Amino acid sequence: MLQKQRARFGYLLVLPALLLVTLLNVVPLIQALILSVQSQNLIRPNPTAFVGARHYLRALTSDPEFWSSTIHTFQWTIGSVVIAYIISLGLALLLNMEIRGRAFLRAMFLIPWVVPNVVTALLWKWFYNGQFGVANFVLMKLGIISEPIQWLSTPEAAMPSVIAVQVWKLYPLMTVVLLAALQNVPKEVLEASRVDGANPIQRFFYVTFNFIRPQSMIIVLISAIWTFQSFDIVYLLTGGGPGGATQTLAIMVYTKAFWATQLGYASAIGVLMMVLLVSLGLAQQALEVFFLKRAGKNG
């Protein structure tokens, strides 16, 4: 009786959340799938124009823009996540030492995470400004470069420049997660391996890293999902330019829908993006299973 009552109470409590999430996450997803097989146009909507897989075929076989955007998305995602992970790991290891003011330092390092993306984009745009930007000024004063670099408006420099900004956004949360993971590494095991004669590098790879691998994988996956679909930073910094050099899939969906008004085609690219994202998630799962198996064999 009580069991039943608690179950009913459960449904009641979940209902509002379920409704909201369904209406604004699940229904739009289905709607996006429907849009992607229709010839929808933002200016003259025509819901009955079924075109089947035509948009998908167009993207995959005859639109070089789709492929270049896909490559840029991977460059942008992998570049940002890998660099952010290396930096966060270094910071987390440093912050894990028994130092004074650790709480203060941790808070300072987290600051970029809360700065609104629009502000992030604007401040870096000012920072990168070819004529008046401080980046060029400092590098020239230090003698590292001899003439100002047009960070955001030369095709070769643009992608690394926007990646640097995303790294600045991504590393804080990664650092916190890795720091929490590091604090769970048992001191006795580290001590034992020291006694056994392992040097610091061996201790890191054979002991510490094994303990922080699960958290590392989760935070890398979450960061990759965010970065893969992120829109505002690149949009505000370069708008996808120069000459499409930083056009990611997210930017392409936006421009196809709201500038070219091709709602149906844009939806198809959105769906393809999602397929890529899900594959990314599955790949991560597979990797985890692989590592678990290997760990099982070794242990």
Residues 75 to 104 in contact with other proteins, rule: CB under 8 A: 90-91, 94-95, 97-99, 103
The residue with tokens 């993306």 is 117
**Cβ closest to other proteins, residue 13 vs residue 289:** 13
Under the binding rule (CB under 8 A), the answer on residue 282 touching other proteins is no
Q: How far, in Å, CA of 228 to CA of 173, rounded?
A: 17
Contacts for 156-159: CB closer than 8 Å, 24+ residues apart = 156/245, 158/238, 158/241, 158/242, 158/245, 158/246, 159/72, 159/75, 159/76, 159/79, 159/245, 159/246
Can you tell me which of 43, 114, 142, 144 binds other proteins, judged by CB under 8 A?
Answer: 114
Does residue 166 contact residue 233 with C-beta atoms inside 8 Å?
A: yes
Under the binding rule (CB under 8 A), the answer on residue 119 touching other proteins is yes
Under the binding rule (CB under 8 A), the answer on residue 145 touching other proteins is no
Under the binding rule (CB under 8 A), the answer on residue 184 touching other proteins is no
**Cβ closest to other proteins, residue 259 vs residue 297:** 259
CB of 282 vs other proteins, minimal distance in Å: 11
Does residue 79 contact residue 163 with C-beta atoms inside 8 Å?
A: yes
Question: Interacting stretch for other proteins, rule CB under 8 A, among 52-60, 129-137, 147-155, 291-299?
Answer: 129-137
The helix-helix angle for 155-182 and 117-128 (nearest 10°) equals 130
Q: What tokens does 100 get? A: 């004074």
Q: How far, in Å, CA of 298 to CA of 295, rounded?
A: 5
Can you tell me which of 60, 83, 105, 139 binds other proteins, judged by CB under 8 A?
Answer: 105
Phi and psi at residue 154, to the nearest 5°? -110, 135
Residues 211-230, interacting with other proteins (CB under 8 A): 215, 218-219, 222, 225, 228-229
Can you tell me which of 71, 145, 278, 295 binds other proteins, judged by CB under 8 A?
Answer: 278
CB of 293 vs other proteins, minimal distance in Å: 21
Phi and psi at residue 144, to the nearest 5°? -80, -40
Residues 31-50, interacting with other proteins (CB under 8 A): 31-32, 35, 45
Under the binding rule (CB under 8 A), the answer on residue 210 touching other proteins is no
Task: With CB under 8 A as the rule, give the number of residues binding other proteins.
Answer: 92
Question: Interacting stretch for other proteins, rule CB under 8 A, among 62-70, 77-85, 154-162, 275-283?
Answer: 275-283
Can you tell me which of 49, 53, 71, 118 binds other proteins, judged by CB under 8 A?
Answer: 118
Q: Exposure pattern of 181-216 as b/e (b: 16+ CB <10 Å)?
A: bbeeeeeeebeebeeeebeeeebbeebbebbbeebb
Can you tell me which of 7, 86, 260, 287 binds other proteins, judged by CB under 8 A?
Answer: 7
CB of 297 vs other proteins, minimal distance in Å: 25
- DSSP category for residue 23: I
